[in-house]
Amino acid sequence: MYSLKLSNICKHYTGTLLFKDISFELRPGEVLAITGWNGSGKSTLLRIIAGLVRPSLGKVEMFMGDEPIPKESRRKFLGMVAPALALYDELTALENMDFFCKVRGIAYDRESCLNMMERVGLTENANKTCRNYSSGMKQRLKLVQALLHSPPLLLLDEPGCNLDSNGMKIVEDIILEHRQLGMTVIASNEKREVDYAERAINLSE
């Protein structure tokens, strides 16, 4: 059983305080939404959880059972989608997947990668370089990248951005499926996405 615990997280940039005293615990099966106006710090909070940004105060912990997971191996247990997280433009979608599998130490399996591609509707474009992908196609590929290693913690920053209604349906499926066993944090302005969450933290208050 995994769990995520944030205690008294606070972040400020040269003088302006973004948020302070964010504390919560998340357990498998729970979905947490983070809301707030543009620029309120949603993405920053997600990056803090992922370990990409250092909080000004407070700490982020992940536990496997009772045992804390050291910060440097936290990345194995989380998958992230965000507007600023780009994939490799000059590779094709399949090559991207191949790379992320290998680098994470998962045996690369063309079959299951193709399955995932099919799930997000990219089968036809799997061998096209990502530079020429449309905005929605890129977003779909990002979803695959986050799910590749079936992480117990999923961090979704505006997951439905650029997607058409089919794409939104895919995101919905992913969230519902992940809710069965894993932890999910969604940062979004879309009411539809926020509604999957039992709990919400509003950073604008």
Decide: is 136 part of the binding site for ligand ATP (CB under 6 A). Answer: yes
Measured at the alpha carbon of residue 84, what is the angle toward residues 174 and 59, in degrees to the nearest 5? 80
Q: Which of 119, 162, 172, 194 binds ligand ATP (CB under 6 A)?
A: 162
Decide: is 115 part of the binding site for ligand ATP (CB under 6 A). Answer: no
The nearest distance, CB 102 to another protein, in angstroms, is 3
The nearest distance, CB 107 to another protein, in angstroms, is 7
Residues in contact with another protein by CB under 8 A are 8, 10, 12, 14-15, 17, 20, 47, 50-54, 56-57, 71-72, 75-78, 80, 84-91, 95, 99-100, 102-107, 112, 116, 119, 129, 145, 147, 149-152, 177, 180-182
Residues in contact with its own copies by CB under 8 A are 13, 36-39, 43, 83-84, 121, 125, 132-137, 139-140, 158, 161-167, 189
